[in-house]
Amino acid sequence: MIRLENVSKRYGNGHYGVIDVNLEIHRGEFIFLVGPSGAGKSSLIRMLYREELPTSGEIYLDEFRLSQLRRTQVSRLRRQLGVVFQDVKLLTNRTVFQNVAFAMEVVGAKGHDIQKRVPQVLELVGLARRRNNLPHQLSGGEQQRVGIARALVNNPVYVIADEPTGNLDPETAFDIIKLLNEINRRGATIVMATHAKEIVNQMHKRVVAVENGRVVRDEARGAYGYEP
């Protein structure tokens, strides 16, 4: 479970990214974080994978208390997480297979485990045939699938996605959401920040709306609720 207790984030310029947020996310949930640009969604997301720390309050993720983690524990925390970005962050000089395998190599996975696991994940995201292509040979949607495959390859408990469909056309965006939904069905918890109104409205998942750094709405089967 992820639990946020009175979490606030104040930046150096005095601006508040997040103000007094309380939130519980249970295992197996699929949550959309919605809100206008600059509302604080990305600040929240970054605090979840401990790229940033709250100025006050505390975030708990399973047994981890995020502000108290020693450096060596941060890597342990992140092995529980899969993070997906809008700009994917693929390594341009490596093939699809190598990009996904990279995530396993750097946590010290064994060679034969990598050879076994990577094709499985590529199959899941529908890129088995593209394994030897370089990122620039892929469409935007395919690149995002590689990003998701990379986030999944180490079997994370939580998948945290920061506007993963932001750069994609509506149809491709829907494919990506279907994929995330499938991953959710297989047991992973999904937390996704998004602007995609159509998608949120059709999925009928839990929606947490953030405005000016505060949670203003938390509905179990919610709608987007804004004009994007």
Partner 1 sequence: MNLNSVWYIAKETGRNLVYNIWMTLASVSTVAISMFVLSFFLVLTVNMTHLTTVLQSQVEMRVFINANVPRHSEMTLLKQADQWPGVRKIQFFTKQQAADSLKKEFPDQRDLLTLISKSNPLFDGFNVYTKNPNEIPALAVRFQHEKAVHNVVYEGQVVSRLSRLSVIMKWVGWAVELLLGLATLFIIVNTIRLAVFARRREVAVMKLVGATDWFIRWPFVLEGLVLGIVGAGVADLVVSQGYHWLIMAATGALPFWPMAPYAQVMAKTWDFTLIGGLVVGGVASIVALRRFLKV
- Residues in contact with partner 1 by the rule CB under 8 A: 49, 71-72, 75-79, 81, 83, 89, 91-92, 102-103, 105-111, 150, 154
Instruction: For the CB of residue 80, give the shortest distance to partner 1 in the complex, in Å.
Output: 8
Residue (77 or 128) nearer to partner 1, CB: 77
Minimum Å distance from CB 78 to partner 1? 4
Least Cβ distance, residue 196 to partner 1 (angstroms): 23
Closer residue to partner 1 in complex, CB, 56/75 = 75
Q: H or E stretch including 189? A: strand 189-193
- Supply the minimum distance, in Å, between the C-beta of residue 65 and partner 1: 17
Asked if 164 contacts 149 with a C-beta cutoff of 8 angstroms, the reply is: no
Structure tokens, 29: 């949930």
Return the number of the residue (111 or 187) whose C-beta is nearest partner 1: 111
The set of residues, in sequence order, having a beta carbon less than 8 Å from that of 111 and lying 6+ positions away, is none
Residues 206/182, Cβ–Cβ less than 8 Å = no
Q: Which is nearer to partner 1, 111 or 170 (CB)?
A: 111
| DSSP class per residue in 46-76 | HHHTTSS--SEEEEEETTEEGGG--HHHHHH
